[in-house]
Structure 1
């Protein structure tokens, strides 16, 4: 779909409604794509929105420029929860995901200007309490969990770092530990952007600035490389009735549209032989 998004991101499959939710971060746009009809509808939130999670009780939670919000698509109702970086006006939230116990994880980054390691990861618990975790990150990205929820993946997209890490995850406390390098993207063309996992426990990574998507086995080995028609793919997410379609957002801002006219578009990749897993919902 030729949406020409500035920064297409945040794709998440809604198995209950059979639709894909996704974002254009700087435009503050929330999108709802229905593959059955091909219709994409949009709502403007009014500020940059980095990522979202669907709520178990309906609606969604957003991680935005001004912190965490509850939002209802149908009514437009919105409720602010917490702004953990109100003291850092240059920052905004970027990527995120939900753990197996319904906690929402999201990370921040400096928004524009010269990159600095000002980003940090946060955990939003189901009682809406916010806990900071790891700081000193340039571009928080790539958050995903293994199918059993016991390994957390995360990355830093910055060109000087471009690394994906894995950490053991305590489901009872929501605490990562034993962090280690999972995949160093200097071995491939693209830097790490958004990620997701499949039913075999493999990690799928959008290779931003490399025009590729990668499948990495649980032991950190490159298993598959898919070339895509845009230089900056940004977030993969399995969807469709059988979770076998790999949806992919991309970045259009600053792209040479003569060379890559679909930059900023939403893509659907089939025939990978992989199947995704249902996305956990925020329990708050």
Structure 2
């Protein structure tokens, strides 16, 4: 197994890596740096586009545009022209909230979670939303401090999500009605309070195992579908934020990370990392169907 830094310029808050099978490139974001990035493994080049506000999550589209989850709602972005078209803002009444984590289900619906920025809220103000192909937006699950961990099982019938807040640090699983886009039977999948890291971004591999970026713990953790720890990979950053499987065989694990003021020295903090030779294959994430 080989672990290397593939983008040396550090992000302030690297997040939301998303592999484009069509382009064979990795999109990812710098939330606090307000930028969308696109990394080309074949050349080692990383492009970026400034955003008008914090950008939390993304999805690829079939028309080569990118769906964005911004501080002020959803937008489409065209990397070729630089055109950004705003779509809708489900939390226009909450100016201190922004989108954080997101992914698509097997039907191409986009799931995105929100969280409060800045000073801690007095109560959990984040929620998970489902954006349909017709741009119908539905508030699905309430009561979260820091929405994270969104991923779907290979058959699309299990939804995973988490709250990485230090008071919660729990991953849940749901049965997922793929036809209706509705989760049910919420249950604790993993309580991470006895683990080194808190549950940040999540992903599922082709074997149906769930991967957690253990923020604060410097590790990636693979869980079996029953929630048992199967494998741990130490990474050279204290705060990995999310993983995405990429490469033509979906066997490269890309890891984003963040810098945190006041932390002990962490020389590679904020870099984009690639892990090869792990012996694991990921799942292709469907593009947004809208």
TM-score normalised by length of structure 1: 0.97
| Contiguous gaps of at least 5 residues in structure 1 | none
Please give the alpha-carbon distance, in whole angstroms, between the structure 1 residues aligned to 2:14 and 2:262. Answer: 13
2:66 corresponds to which of 51, 60, 63: 60
Larger proportion of strand: 2
What residue in structure 2 maps to residue 83 of structure 1? 89
What residue in structure 1 maps to residue 174 of structure 2? 167
Please state how far the C-alpha of 1:256 moved relative to its aligned partner. Answer: 4.3
Please give the alpha-carbon distance, in whole angstroms, between the structure 2 residues aligned to 1:231 and 1:124. Answer: 33
| Contiguous gaps of at least 5 residues in structure 2 | 1-6
1:24 corresponds to which of 27, 30, 47: 30
Determine if contact 1:102/1:281 at 8 Å carries over to the other structure: yes
Residue 245 of structure 2 is aligned to residue 227 of structure 1: no
1:1-284 to structure 2, matched below 5 A, reads 1-115=7-121, 116-254=123-261, 256=263, 259-284=265-290
Q: Any idea what SS the aligned residue of 1:95 has?
A: strand
Please give the alpha-carbon distance, in whole angstroms, between the structure 2 residues aligned to 1:220 and 1:90. Answer: 34
Please give the alpha-carbon distance, in whole angstroms, between the structure 2 residues aligned to 1:141 and 1:132. Answer: 16
Please state how far the C-alpha of 1:3 moved relative to its aligned partner. Answer: 2.3
Q: Any idea what SS the aligned residue of 2:238 has?
A: coil
Could you list the runs of 4 or more consecutive aligned residues of structure 1 that deviate by over 6 angstroms after TM superposition?
A: none
Equivalences, count: 283
Please give the alpha-carbon distance, in whole angstroms, between the structure 1 residues aligned to 2:284 and 2:261. Answer: 33
TM-score normalised by length of structure 2: 0.95
Which has the larger displacement, 159-168 or 248-257?
A: 248-257
Please state how far the C-alpha of 1:271 moved relative to its aligned partner. Answer: 2.2
Please give the alpha-carbon distance, in whole angstroms, between the structure 2 residues aligned to 1:105 and 1:189. Answer: 27
Please give the alpha-carbon distance, in whole angstroms, between the structure 1 residues aligned to 2:89 and 2:283. Answer: 31
Computed over aligned residues only, the root mean square deviation of the Cα atoms, in angstroms, reads 1.1
1:60-91: CA deviation from partner (whole Å, max 9, x where unpaired): 11110000111111111221111111101110
Please give the alpha-carbon distance, in whole angstroms, between the structure 1 residues aligned to 2:96 and 2:277. Answer: 41
Please give the alpha-carbon distance, in whole angstroms, between the structure 1 residues aligned to 2:194 and 2:230. Answer: 13
Please give the alpha-carbon distance, in whole angstroms, between the structure 2 residues aligned to 1:41 and 1:188. Answer: 35
